[in-house]
Amino acid sequence: MNTSHFEYLPHPADARFIAHGTTLEDTFEQAAQAMFGVIIQNATLEPERQVDIELESEGLENLLYDYLSELLYLFEVEEIVFGQFKVDSVEQTNSGYVLKGSASGESIDTECHNFETEVKAVTYHQLKVEKESEGYSAHVIVDT
């Protein structure tokens, strides 16, 4: 059974979501989908541009923060709106965790893309990654 999905939760000022996945990789992919769902809703994006991502962080929460922040940075600086996310591996090392993966999407075109909400930053507020009975969950709040 595939339990990978995300859900948006109410928040008075920002955007809050929980991503669920059968593996850490699935969970991180769902978190990225949720964050870009805040930015651009219901968009069908072609994988015209792909970016490889490799990050190392001390803990899982730091890794998730760094992953989402890197995607947001690439969106803002490289002007890529992502629609597909592939996390190939999240592995524990002696110094923390390493993530390897990629993201793909299209170059930003304001005439084609209808941006819903500006995500200014990923926050550490209530950020957590948890092991559950059927996989993992990630709780995230992004500053809008």
CA 12 to chain centroid, in Å, comes to 21
pLDDT at 23: 97
- The domain ranges of the chain are 5-143
The CATH superfamily of 5-143 is Archease domain (3.55.10.10)
Q: Which two tokens stand for residue 94?
A: 């002696």
Number of alpha carbons in the 13 Å side-chain half-sphere of residue 24:
20
* 49-63 tens-digit pLDDT: 999 999 999 999 999
pLDDT at 1: 44
Residues of the chain short of pLDDT 50, as ranges, are 1
pLDDT at 2: 59
pTM of the model: 0.95
